[in-house]
Amino acid sequence: MYGDKSLTPAETMRLAVLGALTEGEVSYADLATGVRHFVERMVGPSLELLGSSLEVLRLEGLIEAADGRSGDQVPMRLTPAGRDTFEKLMLATLRAPMNDIQRLVLALKLRFLDQLSPEDRADQIDLLLELTETELARLEDLRRTGAGGMFADWLDQEVAHTGKRRAWLQTCLERAEADV
């Protein structure tokens, strides 16, 4: 992790793999294909996000073959250590402003949010809400500089979109807090 407790690109890829396995066993080949597909659709092809091999996660004891065999079609599952690592990665902070990596972390957190305890889920939504409010304040401050033309139009669009995300996250937080 970085000093601010946010995820490095390699840890982001670990979160993608481990999170996928929280949803159930999946073959080695389908796991690799599914993670690559999700990441490429979120941020496009990226050398920075060439994740560590699934074999590394297996050697570290985070994932294992469900039946002890090896091969592309063998079902993989999360180990208890893998579950602990997943939770640690899910509870990491996000950096502002949002870049491609942070957008991917956000998407992964939202995708796997239901795998956390109700308390941790509410905390993560609150973290996302704080990040969104910070981003909105930054955009609104920039908009007040008096910029014109297409840049001003673009800023207005970004402010509106971020405001909608804030409202949605506030609703999500209220629901999550009701579950605690």
From residue 20, give the alpha-carbon distance in Å to each of 26, 55, 72, 113, 123. Answer: 8, 16, 16, 12, 21
* Local confidence band at 50 (pLDDT 50, 70, 90 cut-offs): low
Cα angle 176-62-66, degrees, rounded to a multiple of 5: 100
- Alpha carbons 127 and 139: distance in angstroms, whole number: 18
pLDDT value, residue 61: 93
Tell whether the model's pLDDT for residue 63 goes beyond 60. Answer: yes
Q: What is the pTM of this model?
A: 0.85
Tell whether the model's pLDDT for residue 123 goes beyond 60. Answer: yes
pLDDT per position as a tens digit, 14-45 = 999 999 999 999 998 899 889 988 988 888 77
